[in-house]
Every structure is written in C-alpha cells, then in structure tokens.
Amino acid sequence: MTTAINPLEVDIRLAVGTPVGNTPVMLICPFHDDRVGSLAVYRDNCNCFGCSYHLKRRFAALAFLIGAWNGVGSEESERVRRAVVSITPRLHEFVGTAPAKVNTWTPPPISDYDVELFHSYLLRYKRNRLEDELIGRRGYDIETIKRFRLGHTGSHFTIPVPNLDNGYKSIRYRADDGILDKDEPDFRKYEGTWGHNQPCLFPLSSLRGVRTLEALWITEGEYDAISVIQAGDTALTVTGGVGNCAKVVQMIAALGIQVDRWVIAVDQDNAGNVASDKLMRKLYDTGEKATRARWDTFKDLTEYYGAGGKRGDVWYEA
C-alpha cells in the first residue's frame, strides 16, 4: 500500500539541487539572456529576478523543473494539468526534511473597494483635475477614464493594474503635479502599492481570452498604453519604468500568446531609444517581426494624441 504524499512536504528545490534551510536554489533562467543565475527556486514556487518569470503553483513548477512541461503558457492550462498528473508517481522523490514554511507574510490583495473609491472621488470631487489633466492635457474621453477606472487620492492620480481574473494586481499612484511641488526633494512621480511593486503587464484585461494578436504596441508607461488603446490599437506596457520594457517578451510568452507583429512605441528620447534598441534586438534574435513607431514633435504618444495627433499620421521604421 502506497502512503499518500502530503503536498506541503514536497520541496521542489530537490529537483535541481540540495536545499539549505529556506534559501532558494538559483538557476540560469531559460527565458532571457541570463548570465548570473536569476531564477530562484523556492520550496513551492519559482521566480526570476531578471525577467520576472514566475510560477506560483508548486506542482506546475515541479513539472517545469523536471522537464514534463516547458514552462510556457498558463499554469492553469490542460497541458499543465496533464503534466502534473504524469509526475504524481514521482512525488516521493521530492519530499524534503525541512519543515514547511509557516507564518509567511503575504501582501493583502488589492481591494476593488479602493479602486472604486478613488474613481468615484475623481469623478465627483476632482472634476477640475479630471477635465484639465486627463481630458484636456492627456486627451482621454470620459468612457476611457471609466473603462480603466482612473481615480484620484487628493494628491495622486490612481491607475488600477488589472489581472486576468477580473481583479487587480496593484494600484499605481502618479503624482498630480498640479497639486504637488515637483521641486520638493521627496517628490516622486510614480509610486506603487506596498507589497505589489513587482513589474507586471498593463493592462492585462486587454488580453482576456486572446491567443493571437495581429499587432501589439509596447509603450513606456501606463498613460501611453491607455492612449494607444483609445486610438484603436492593442497595447501593453511593463510597470516600473522604461528599464523593464525588455521583459515584455518573456511575459507574453509565459501567457502563451502569439504576436504576429510587435510595434515599439516607447518615448522618443535617449532612454526610450536605448530601451527600443534592446527590445528590438531581443525580438529579432527570437525571429519576431518588429517595427518602431514614430510621430511628430512630441516625446510620447500621450502628448501626441493629447495635442490632437492623428493615428493615421504615425509612421513606422525598421
């Protein structure tokens, strides 16, 4: 008679090394050009500190580590379920001796109530900032503002970051420079939600049910992604700044989405040019088709569209 394995006793680190306490085993990540070993394998999950590749399910991660699944696509897919079933007879090989982690702090989930509270505050009590900044300067219409549940705290605009499950991964806070002094030493243009600041795709809600995309626009920030979507295209950005843009390739691959053409639409400045070159090289190296979007005069697409720029006047270069 075979003794059932307690899932909490399975230590997936045993598939790739010898665990020491709760310290992760570090591996070379196969999803980006990793030369230092950025993929951390914990007792029950994997996380790459280089490209943010993450597997949260213990047995899906184990299936990936022992080669029963290639790690691409959703952990909830039927392919992964079959892979987990196939490795079940081997679980006894990965039973660790160290006690399971207890009392591990997990950041609380983002509250839908907070999102709606900030959104309602913007619509009801910050009409001047709504009309001057988001409609007047950014060029958003009221339907776009409602669609993305943009809000205001009294000092910051709020940009909820949706996940694929009709909830939210984070809330981004952008300083309202019509209220806050940009010259103050502690001024910060963007802030995230404590415990939810890892780079992630915005807005994932655009990808619900999507498996292929004819064209995907990659922007430098959340406002630009919203502007591109309002103009009629599909767009994503990676939260946390232009330095994270190159991570989008692995993030999209992890979702199992096929992109026929990538349109790089980052800012037209030095930092944007560096990020664009890096991302274009990564895409070319993997055989993807990519072009750089260009527009007249303005640094970013939000400024361009906000000033009345037309979608048809945007051009492309290789």
| pLDDT tens string 43-63 | 899 988 878 889 999 999 999
Residue 107 has what pLDDT? 76
Which of 215-229, 230-244, 293-307 shows the lowest per-residue confidence on average (mean pLDDT)?
Answer: 230-244
pTM: 0.69
Question: CATH topology for 200-318?
Answer: Dna Topoisomerase Vi A Subunit; Chain: A, domain 2 (3.40.1360)
Q: Which residues contact 95 (CB under 8 A, 6 or more apart)?
A: 5, 9, 10, 11, 14
**Which of 242, 208, 207 lies closest to 222 in space, CA to CA?**
242
Instruction: pLDDT band for 165, please (50, 70, 90 cuts).
Output: confident
| pLDDT tens string 290-306 | 999 999 999 999 999 99
Higher pLDDT, 109 or 157: 157
Higher pLDDT, 50 or 28: 28
Residue 6 has what pLDDT? 81
Q: How far is CA 225 from CA 91, 102, 184, 239, in A?
A: 44, 40, 28, 11
What's the rounded Cα separation, in Å, for the pair 21 and 292? 47
| Average pLDDT, integer, range 64-74 | 91
Q: What is the CATH superfamily name and number for domain 107-198?
A: DNA primase, catalytic core, N-terminal domain (3.90.980.10)
| Average pLDDT, integer, range 144-172 | 93
Q: Where are the alpha helices (DSSP H) in 27-108?
A: 58-65, 78-87
| pLDDT tens string 148-160 | 999 999 999 999 9
Residue 105 has what pLDDT? 57
| Residue pair 210/236 in contact by the 8 Å Cβ criterion | no
Residue 205 has what pLDDT? 85
Question: Is the pLDDT score of 115 beyond 50?
Answer: yes
Residue 1 has what pLDDT? 38
Beta bridge partners of 173: 158, 191
Q: How many CA atoms lie within 13 A of 5 on its CB side?
A: 16
- Residue 172, SS3? strand
**Which of 162, 148, 171 lies closest to 207 in space, CA to CA?**
162
| pLDDT tens string 82-108 | 999 999 889 988 987 555 544 455 678
What's the rounded Cα separation, in Å, for the pair 206 and 35? 33
Question: Is the pLDDT score of 243 beyond 90?
Answer: no
What's the rounded Cα separation, in Å, for the pair 103 and 84? 27
Residue 48 has what pLDDT? 86
Q: Where are the domains of the chain?
A: 7-94, 107-198, 200-318
Measure CA of the first residue to CA of the last residue in the chain; give whole Å: 64
